[in-house]
Amino acid sequence: MNNIFNYEAEASVLGMILVDGTLFKELVLKENHFHDTRHRQILIAMQQVHTQGAGIDLVTVTTALGEGIAKVGGTRYLLEMSESVASTLAFSHHQRLVLEAFRNREARKLALAFAEQPIAAEIGKFIRQLQHLQDERSSEKTTFDHLLEITDEMCNPTDGLSGFQTNFAALDDMTGGMQKGELIIVAARPSVGKTAFALNLAGNHAKNGGSSLIFSLEMTAKSLLQRMISAQGWINSQKWRNMLFAKEDYERAIQAIGEISNWQLHMHDKLRTVTDISVAIRKIKDLQPNDRHLVIIDYLQLLHPVSKRERRDLEVGDMTRELKQLAVELNIPIVLLSQLSRGVESRENKRPFMSDLRESGNIEQDADMIAFLYRDDYYRKDQQDAAPMEIIIGKQRNGPTGTVRLSFQKEFGRFVEENV
């Protein structure tokens, strides 16, 4: 690679599209931006597939190339490009690298042409041509675009919140709702109520007309739906184990199922890497570009790294960094559940601190907000009355820290305001 040729970036852009065909709609590059003739031919084939309304992948692009497949290095070269992609999150950045190399090539041509005939009358034309090259831009917003957006949001506020409403008034007052472009960590010890809290967030968001995308690495989609039915229908979740329901349970369940069936819920229980999860999110975002998407991932420590590192904390850092970049790129909030270390158990005061996050350094750095869940009765088994769930905001990049208390009705997996 040098400043006028960037074969690696060209191959990376095409490889990412082969991995995730929906990225083609985000492509701002044209055929002439690619220097390698093989890459130009591959792009033409992708354009043909897209025009035909088919999905772009290794098979469809190979078919579109036909006999010309040998001229681009065969299916082996296409496979190498796709297999070299560790993550699709750098798509926009690699497009900019390709565009930068193109500009440098064109500027070099213009400079050489002018050097052959350095006539004063041609200086103005030469400068205009260079300015035209500089004006070639990606889809990135300008400062003016952002200022217009801020003005519009100030003049036309929605629900008095800048983010997605959680339906917990005290929590919304402290956070302004779940903010677009932010990575939100919800952390607790096992069985405190992380998944139940996340499902309440997803259910409330869907009730408000939003789209909730749930990626579970621990439970099946069926089990999660049973939990949501229990919370929505006030049905003791233990009854799913022996299926001994009372008559009113059936009535409540049928009503809850009817309500949930109208929600925009997307549940996945087979995906294990950030790359696979990001592909699924992009597809839904592409199909429903105007919907208000909320992503929930349960949970961080079960995610598999795409690239192995010498230490687990570095692998965790790679994954949280990619999820933060994805949240910013797609302008959506991502709620990532996380386990706490056993260090909490050794202290007299069991309320979590930042240092209790497992592989904490990178998590704390990448997260925009970190919320810890704490229940006093989790540690005091002899306590008769259920203690409130404390939502401890330990970090908020653009807001205050503090504690919000909710009533946790554990048998239903339901969170409500304390005075309800």
pLDDT digit string, tens, across residues 152-172: 766 666 657 889 999 999 999
What per-residue confidence (pLDDT) applies to 138? 45
- Strand-pair partners of 357: 340
Q: Of 116, 149, 153, 218, which is the active-site residue? A: 218
Give the integer Cα–Cα distance in Å for 153 and 147: 10
Instruction: Determine whether 153 is an active site residue.
Output: no
- Break the chain into its structural domains and give their ranges: 7-135, 158-417
CA 70 centroid distance within chain: 37
pLDDT digit string, tens, across residues 230-283: 999 999 888 888 888 888 889 999 999 999 999 999 999 999 888 889 889 988
Mean pLDDT of 95-103: 87
Cβ 198 vs Cβ 258: under 8 Å? no
Nearest to 9 by CA among 102, 75, 74: 102
**Residue 285: pLDDT over 50:** yes
3-state class of 266 per DSSP? strand
What per-residue confidence (pLDDT) applies to 156? 67
What per-residue confidence (pLDDT) applies to 382? 66
Q: Which residue has the higher pLDDT, 411 or 110?
A: 411
Mean pLDDT of 367-396: 85
Helices (H) and strands (E) in the chain, counts: 16, 9
What per-residue confidence (pLDDT) applies to 373? 95
**Residue 137: pLDDT over 80:** no
CA 332 centroid distance within chain: 7
pLDDT digit string, tens, across residues 180-225: 999 999 999 988 999 999 999 999 999 999 999 999 999 999 999 9
Give the integer Cα–Cα distance in Å for 55 and 412: 42
Mean pLDDT of 382-392: 79
pLDDT band with cut points at 50, 70 and 90 for residue 122: low
What per-residue confidence (pLDDT) applies to 383? 64
Give the integer Cα–Cα distance in Å for 393 and 338: 14
Give the integer Cα–Cα distance in Å for 37 and 26: 22
3-state class of 360 per DSSP? helix
Q: Where are the beta strands (DSSP E) in 80-146?
A: none
For the domain 158-417, what is the CATH superfamily, name and number? P-loop containing nucleotide triphosphate hydrolases (3.40.50.300)
Residue type, 390: E
Q: Which helix (H) or strand (E) covers residue 63, if one does?
A: helix 58-65
What does pTM read for this prediction?
0.71
What per-residue confidence (pLDDT) applies to 388? 86
Cβ 355 vs Cβ 343: under 8 Å? yes
CATH hierarchy code of domain 7-135: 1.10.860.10
Residue type, 16: M
Q: What are phi and psi of 265, to 5 degrees?
A: -115, 130
